[in-house]
C-alpha cells in the first residue's frame, strides 16, 4: 500500500496513516483504508483497531491539491459521498476503532477521527474543521457529527470561525475521551484497546450496533444535503480562489461568487 501501513499483534490491529508531511486524505488513501477494513472485518483474531498518524500529525486534512482536478459540482458531490460512505461504514464497523490523535486532526482528518468509536488525544493536539477558511465546507459528514459531540453552538463556532480546539478542550466538550501528554498517547490508546479486546466479541458488536440507533433519519438527510452543498460550494468562484490561495500560501480574497 502507498499511503497506509497496517499490521496486527494478537487481537489488536494497527492502521498507520503514512503520507508525509501532513497525512492528507486523498481518494487513493480512502480506497486503501476501505481495502484494509475488508481484510480486517472477517478476521476473527482481530477484535479492536487502532488508527493513528505517522510523523507530526494524525491527519491535517484532505488533499487540497486533489480538489483542483475536479471541476464540476457533481464531481465534488461524488467525492464527498465516497468519504461519507466510508466513514459511515467505520462508525458501524463491528469491531471498535480507536483513534490515537497527536499533532493535528483537521478537516477531513477530524472527520475521519469522528467516524471512529473512541478518540484519545494529546493535550496539545489541534482539532477543527477549518474548511470555511478556504471558501469551502466540510464534506465527509463533519457538519453532522461535530454537533453530536460538542453541541450545535460549539460546532457552529468551530466551523464558522475555522478556529481549532486543543486536545484538553476536546475532552471537556465531549469530542474525545481522554487527553495525555503527546509521548503517552499511543501507549494509552493501546492500553484501552487491550482492555476492550478482553470483552466478548459478540457483546462488543452488539453495543456498536445499538449505538448506531442513536443516529436519526435527520442525520442521514443532513449527510445527503451536505454532499449536495459540498458540490455546489466547491464549484463556486470563491472556492476556486480559496483553494488557489491555500496552494499559493496567501490570504484568499472572497467576493461572494
- Catalytic residue of the set 111, 123, 169, 226: 111
Asked, as a colleague might, if the bond just before 21 is cis with ω within 30 of 0, I would say yes
Provide the grid cell at 130. 477549518
Q: How many CA atoms lie within 13 A of 72 on its CB side?
A: 3
Q: Answer yes or no: 131 catalytic.
A: yes
Alpha-helical regions (H) of the chain: 27-40, 64-67, 73-92, 108-115, 142-150, 152-161, 167-173, 185-197, 201-211, 217-234, 237-248
CA 23 to CA 56: how far, in whole Å?
Answer: 9
Q: Answer yes or no: 111 catalytic.
A: yes
- Catalytic residue of the set 32, 131, 169, 226: 131
Rounded to the nearest angstrom, the gap between the alpha carbon of residue 36 and the centroid of all alpha carbons in its chain is 16
- Residues acting as catalytic residues: 111, 131
Amino acid at each position: 500500500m502507498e499511503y497506509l501501513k497496517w499490521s496486527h499483534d494478537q487481537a489488536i490491529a494497527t492502521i498507520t496513516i503514512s503520507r508525509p508531511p501532513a497525512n492528507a486524505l486523498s481518494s487513493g488513501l480512502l480506497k486503501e483504508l476501505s481495502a484494509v477494513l475488508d481484510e480486517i472485518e472477517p478476521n476473527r483474531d482481530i477484535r479492536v483497531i487502532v488508527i493513528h498518524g505517522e510523523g507530526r500529525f494524525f491527519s491535517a486534512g484532505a488533499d487540497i491539491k486533489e480538489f483542483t482536478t475536479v471541476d464540476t459540482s457533481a464531481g465534488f458531490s461524488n467525492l464527498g459521498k465516497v468519504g461519507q460512505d466510508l466513514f459511515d461504514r467505520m462508525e458501524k464497523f463491528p469491531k471498535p476503532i480507536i483513534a490515537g490523535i497527536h499533532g493535528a486532526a483537521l478537516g477531513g482528518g477530524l472527520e475521519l477521527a469522528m467516524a471512529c468509536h473512541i478518540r484519545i488525544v494529546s493535550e496539545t493536539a489541534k482539532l477543527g474543521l477549518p474548511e470555511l477558511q478556504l471558501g469551502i465546507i466540510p464534506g465527509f459528514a463533519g457538519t453532522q457529527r461535530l454537533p453530536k459531540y460538542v453541541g450545535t453552538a460549539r460546532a457552529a463556532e468551530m466551523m464558522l470561525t475555522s478556529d481549532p480546539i486543543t486536545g484538553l478542550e476536546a475532552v471537556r466538550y465531549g469530542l474525545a475521551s481522554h487527553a495525555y501528554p503527546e509521548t503517552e498517547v499511543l501507549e494509552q490508546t493501546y492500553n484501552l484497546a487491550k482492555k476492550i479486546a478482553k470483552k466478548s466479541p459478540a457483546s462488543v458488536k452488539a453495543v456498536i450496533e445499538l449505538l448506531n440507533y442513536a443516529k436519526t433519519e435527520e442525520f442521514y438527510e443532513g449527510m445527503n444535503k451536505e454532499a449536495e452543498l459540498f458540490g455546489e460550494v466547491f464549484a463556486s468562484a470563491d472556492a476556486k480562489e480559496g483553494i488557489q490561495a491555500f496552494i499559493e500560501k496567501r490570504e484568499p480574497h472572497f467576493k461572494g461568487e
